[in-house]
Amino acid sequence: ALPRDMSGKRVVVSAGGTREPLDPVRYLGNRSSGKQGYALARVAAQRGAQVTLVSAHTVALPEPAGVDIVNAGTALELREAMHKAAGEADIIVMAAAVADFRPVSRADHKIKKSDRDPDPVALTRNPDILAELVAARAAGKFRSIIVGFAAETGDETGDVLTHARAKLARKGCDLLVVNAVGEGKAFETEDNAGWLLAADGTERSIALGSKAQMAAGIWDFVLNSGTYPTG
Ligand code: C5P
What's the pLDDT tens digit per position in 82-125? 999 999 899 999 999 999 999 999 999 998 888 788 889 999 99
Residue 156 has pLDDT above 60, yes or no: no
Q: Which of 30, 126, 179, 192 is catalytic?
A: 30
pLDDT tens-place string over residues 75-92? 999 999 999 999 989 999
Q: Is the pTM of this model over 0.80?
A: yes
Residue 168 has pLDDT above 60, yes or no: yes
Q: Is the ipTM of this complex over 0.95?
A: yes
- Going by CA atoms, what residue is nearest to atom 5 of ligand 1? 150
30 counts as catalytic: yes
Distance 100 CA to ligand 1 centre (A): 8
Measured from the CB, is residue 152 less than 6 Å from ligand 1? Answer: no
3-state secondary structure the chain: CCCCCCCCCEEEEEECECCEECCCCCEECCCCCCHHHHHHHHHHHHCCCEEEEEECECCCCCCCCCEEEEECCCHHHHHHHHHHHHCCCCEEEECCECCCEEECCCCCCCCCCCCCCCCCCCEEECCCHHHHHHHHHHCCCCCCEEEEEEEECCCCCCCHHHHHHHHHHHHCCCEEEEEECECCECCCCCEEEEEEEECCCCEEEEEEEEHHHHHHHHHHHHHHCCCCCCC
Measured from the CB, is residue 129 less than 6 Å from ligand 1? Answer: yes
